[in-house]
Every structure is written in structure tokens, then in C-alpha cells.
Chain A
Amino acid sequence: MRLQKNTLAALSSVLEFAANPGEQLSAAEIARKYRISPHHLAKVLRVLGRARLLESERGVGGGYRFTGNPKRLTLMDVIELFEDISAPRRGARRAAHRERPAPAASEVEDAIGVVLAEIDETARATFRSITLETMLKLIARRRK
């Protein structure tokens, strides 16, 4: 599984905010630290703001402040704001094709769909079980 660029930028941002509770951070600081284009990051932060995870302060020295709860907010809560990683419905891929597949191909696709759905279920459960606080601990452990 791969996460989209926006999602990764959002995760980096919320983790940066969660690691600095109460601090106001500017989009430029985050963009520099994570090498994300400022234009791109601005869009991501707007989505996080709309989801009430960030509060923006305007004016000179303005920036964003984290308003989420790192003990409660999971990776999935953030990922879901940017992409749908729910398992595709069986046969959905086939419906996108104009031509009707051969029966054998359709059976294989169905069976592969079952396996992919199993993998996706596990991925979703994993994202749902990891809070930002747990991620910060994981990052700290890996730094040692």
C-alpha cells in the first residue's frame, strides 16, 4: 500500500504539531523541514483546518496551532481526510471496463479482489490502532 503525497504531507504536519503541543508553527517552517512545496502544503493545512485539527492565526507571526488530541487522533482519522482507502467493492474494477471480460478472467479478478480486500482490512485496522502519540513514541524509539 502507498499513501498519496497529500496524505503524507498531512501526516508529517500533524505529527510536527503534536510533537510541539501549544506551539504556533508556520506553514513555511513545516514546508522547509519536510521539503514539501509551500503551495501544496497550504492546501493540505486548509483541509486539516476545516477538519478542526488546526487553528490558524493570521497576521505577522501567524501560523497554525494544533487543536487535536494526540492520544485520541489516529493515523486513519488523518488519512481519511485525503483519500479513501476502503476496499473496492468486488467487481467494481470490472464495471469500469467497457468490454465484458471472459468468464475465466472474471473469476480470477473476483478471487484477487477477495485477497486485496483482506490486505486492505488489515491496513485499515493498523491505521486505526495507531494514535499520533503512539507514532511520536515510535519515531523516538527509531531515533535511538
Chain B
Amino acid sequence: MQLKKASRVRSVQPGDLAQVIEIDAGITGLRKPAYWGEVLARYGGGRRRERFFLVAEMDKRIEGFVIGEVRDWEYGMPACGWVFGIGVRPDARLQGTGTRLLEEICEGFRRLGVSKVRTILARENHLILSFFRSQGMMAAPFLTLEKDLG
């Protein structure tokens, strides 16, 4: 069996954005260039060391991305790492790309001194939920609440 080459995880660059938008649109069905422009401005380029926007690249193609940051003391909780989004091209899945992206962002969180990583996502998002579960993530001792603002 021929082993597939592993992708390289690095910080996002402005030239990657078109591919990130394409990956996200392929997964969610929505093209959001303005949103991704803002995410790049806020999380890209290493402007703040607690913010991360990483991509996995192989043969000059972006295979996936992850975004997150270390956040402080909300509701009295100690600082922790938050993963806001992760996506991998459907044809690049099951090759460890998502695992490498998550490991790399967690390593960044660890370097900043936090010991927990958290994420939040829809109950119906079985694919990503299963991915996070497979990485050893368990239910956190929090509840998300919402209300119609009518």
C-alpha cells in the first residue's frame, strides 16, 4: 500500500483565503467571502498571539483550516482554548488532516499556558461532532442556552 504524503500545517496567508472560502462553501453550501475576510483580518497574520488561523497545505493546495483563540475568564472560568471552526476538503478526509490541524492549534494553546480546549457546535452536526469525539473530546460542564428575540 502506498502511504499518502502528510499535509503541512502553517499559519494562514492572504493568498490562501480563496481556497478556504471554497472549502467552507463546499461544506456549508454558503459562500461567505466578506465573513472570511473579517476572520482573516482578526485571526490571520499572527497579529495577536492568542488568535490562531491555521491551514493544512499539501502540494500547494489548501486541504483544510482551523480557527480558534485563547479566551479569558468568562463567567469566572479559567482561560481556555476555543476552536471556532474546522474544515477539511471532502476528498482529503480520513488522512489525518483534521487531526493534525487540531493537534497544532492545541499545541499553540498549550504554549500560551492553557490546559483545556473547548468547542461548540450544532447537535445535528454529526460529522464534526464525531471528529471531535474521536479526538478524545467529551461533554463540557456547560449548557448552551438560547431564546427567541421575537
Contacts and interface: CB of A to CB of B under 8 A. Distances in A.
A74 B129 CA distance: 12
B123 A134 contact: no
Contacts of A129: 126, 129-130, 132-133
A144 interface: no
Contacts of B126: 74, 128-129
Nearest to A76: B126
Interface string A105-123: 0000000000000000110
A30 B134 CA distance: 26
Main DSSP-derived SS at the A contact region? helix
A125 B133 contact: no
B124 interface: yes
Interface residues of B, number: 10
Contact of A131 (B124, B133, B136): B133
B139 interface: yes
Nearest to A74: B130
Name the residue among A125, A129, A134 with the largest chain B CB count within 10 angstroms: A129
A126 B125 CA distance: 11
A130 B133 CA distance: 6
Contacts of B124: 125
Interface string A69-111: 0000010000000000000000000000000000000000000
Interface residues of A, number: 14
A130 B136 contact: no
B123 A122 contact: yes
A141 interface: yes
A133 interface: yes
A35 interface: no
Contacts of B132: 129
Interface in A15-61: none
Nearest to A131: B130
A130 B136 CA distance: 10
B129 A125 contact: yes
Nearest to A124: B123
A53 B134 CA distance: 21
Contact of A121 (B123, B130, B133, B136): B123
3 closest cross-chain pairs (CB), A and B: A129-B129, A125-B123, A134-B134
6 contacts: A121-B123, A128-B126, A129-B129, A129-B132, A130-B133, A141-B136
Interface of B: 123-124, 126, 129-130, 132-134, 136, 139
Given A125-B123, A131-B134, A134-B134, 11 more contacts: A74-B130, A125-B124, A125-B129, A126-B139, A129-B126, A129-B129, A129-B130, A129-B132, A129-B133, A130-B133, A137-B136
